[in-house]
Amino acid sequence: GAVVSQHPSWVICKSGTSVKIECRSLDFQATTMFWYRQFPKQSLMLMATSNEGSKATYEQGVEKDKFLINHASLTLSTLTVTSAHPEDSSFYICSARAGASNSPLHFGNGTRLTVT
C-alpha cells in the first residue's frame, strides 16, 4: 500500500515553455503533499508544502510564480514549471503524507526535467 505515482518520469522541453508534473496517491488520501528538487549527488531540497484545497507554502528562495502548485484533491497535486530555463533542469520529486505529521513520507519516483 501507500503508493505515490509521479508522471512523467522524464521530460525534455524547450526553453520558455511550461511543464506540468503530476503526483498522485493511488491507494490513500494525502492530506499533505511536498515537492522537492534534487541536483546530482545532493540532498532533496524542499520547494513547497501543499495541503488539499489551500495555497501552497513555499520555502524561502522558491519563486511561487515560477513553480505553480495545485492540490485540487486529496489524491492529486501538480507542479507546473513555467517559462522553463536550462537552470531549471533537475530531478523533481513529490511526496505525500496520509496522516499525522510523524507519518512516513511516501515518495514518487521523480521526474527528470531537461530544458534545452
Partner 1 sequence: SQKIEQNSEALNIQEGKTATLTCNYTNYSPAYLQWYRQDPGRGPVFLLLIRENEKEKRKERLKVTFDTTLKQSLFHITASQPADSATYLCVQRGHNNDMRFGAGTRLTVKP
- Of the two residues 28 and 91, which places its CB atom closer to partner 1 in the complex? 91
Piece of 14-22, 69-77, 78-86, 89-97 that binds partner 1 (CB under 8 A): 89-97
Size of the site for partner 1 (CB under 8 A): 22
The verdict on 90 binding partner 1 (CB under 8 A) reads no
- If one asks whether residue 93 binds partner 1 (CB under 8 A), the answer comes out as yes
Residue 68 CB contacts under 8 Å (≥ 6 apart), including other chains = 79, 80, 82
Kindly report whether the peptide bond that precedes residue 104 is cis, defined as omega within 30 degrees of 0.
no
